[in-house]
A and B are shown apart, each in its own frame.
Chain A
Amino acid sequence: MVTHTVSERNQTGIINDDKALAWATASNVLDPEIPCVTVGELGIVRDIELIEDEVTVYVSPTYSGCPAVLAIEMAIETELLKVGFRPNIKRILSPPWTTDWISDVGREKLRKFGITPPVNASSKMGLFGKVNVECPRCSSNNTEKLSEFGSTACKAQYRCKNCLEPFDYFKCI
């Protein structure tokens, strides 16, 4: 991979908007535990500040104890270094990350990967406040919760009573 310093890029006109490049570079890092979606699509990258070639990326961890947080921060740092920035990662807790920040593209990718995306608080509530969680394979609503805690902090375990397959649900927080 050819790397350029920021000033070189400007001279050669390869990329004329460094901030856009920094955003794209940071956002395109894949989530290490759900590698079908990028951290941008999950809404983890909140903001970017650019002063010359020094870029500060503000990231919002999904869960307090999420072991992926450090891996994500290091990956963002590495990718930014590769394209010639001097990266600085800042973790912000407030406002807390919410599943509402997952983009539509991200939600669709999760579904294709076999993980039902979070059901928005108001839109899909069934009777008596029960949430309808759709099977990512056959789209049936005839599903049941096995456990509120799954293979990672952000997922719950469900079973489809129509196609009989178990699946992960990205729980709503």
Chain B
Amino acid sequence: MSKILTKALLELADDHLILGHRLSEWCGHAPLLEEDLALPNMGLDLIGTARSLYTYACQVEDKNKSEDDFAFLRNEREYVNCLLVERPNFNFAHTILKQLYFSVFMELYWAAALNSDDEMLVGIAGKAKKEMAYHVRHSGEWTVRLGDGTSVSNEKMLQAVNALHLYTNELFINTENSDTYISKNILPDRTSFKANWQKKIKTIFKQAFITYPNNNDELLGGRVGLHGEELGHLLASMQSVHRLHPGAQW
């Protein structure tokens, strides 16, 4: 079947799984009890969406595969998530900004996917879009609260922007050779969301007293399996139980 559609689904699924795992790392470490519930809850949403996407990828590519094969038995060079989502949590400001960048993008993406001619993608988009609206509100409110907070919290947000903004361009690049899928209205066109994404981020930044970076620095590589060292550490932790007990049932 179609390798290109599978690749597009895996890009989406890997983004959700890896960011979902990053959020789960906050469990027991968040600065407030409410956030200790909120961050892993959002992680669950993302991992749930990843599961639907992996399951669909199995139907498209190879019915003998399961979602677990994709999640637990691929190495870092086989993962095709964008670099943004694998960045370590670092501090709360970094995490919030990473969530903001990603969720604003995904809300636009899922809204467009609702009009796809691919029924499965429409089904996944219907649930995910509603959840993403909560994530956008959560990270948007926190961005303003931190940016318009104390000089320390503002400084941390600025540092987060400096560290993470160059990873955002990768979100707007379409899957290699996917033009026909876009023109046939199967896959949304990632490049088409850039203007709206920037507009929304700029509006939030303005309220948060954060300057939107005007340089064009970018770092790419995730979609072709070239990742930072940190992804290896994440996968080692996430996959260890599955690899230690292959095929275990309980």
Contact = CB atoms under 8 A, between A and B. Distances in A.
A97 B127 contact: yes
A150 interface: yes
B126 A95 contact: yes
A146 B47 CA distance: 25
B46 A65 contact: yes
Interface centre among A65, A92, A97, A148 (most CB of B within 10 A): A65
Interface in B46-62: 46-49, 51-52
Interface string B154-191: 00000000000000000000000000000000000000
A64 B126 contact: no
Secondary structure class of chain A's binding surface, majority of residues = loop
B37 A65 contact: no
A63 B131 contact: yes
Given A65-B47, A94-B119, A153-B45, A147 B38 contact: yes
A142 to B, nearest CB: 20
A93 interface: yes
Contacts of A64: 44-45, 48-49, 51-52, 127-128, 131
Interface in B1-51: 20, 34-35, 37-38, 41-49, 51
Secondary structure class of chain B's binding surface, majority of residues = helix
Given A63-B44, A148-B134, A149-B41, A93 B126 contact: yes
A114 interface: no
A35 interface: no
Given A63-B131, A94-B123, A96-B126, A147 B48 contact: no
Interface of B: 20, 34-35, 37-38, 41-49, 51-52, 119-120, 122-124, 126-128, 130-131, 134, 137-138
Given A61-B127, A63-B44, A65-B44, 8 more contacts: A61-B48, A65-B46, A66-B48, A93-B123, A94-B119, A148-B38, A149-B37, A150-B37
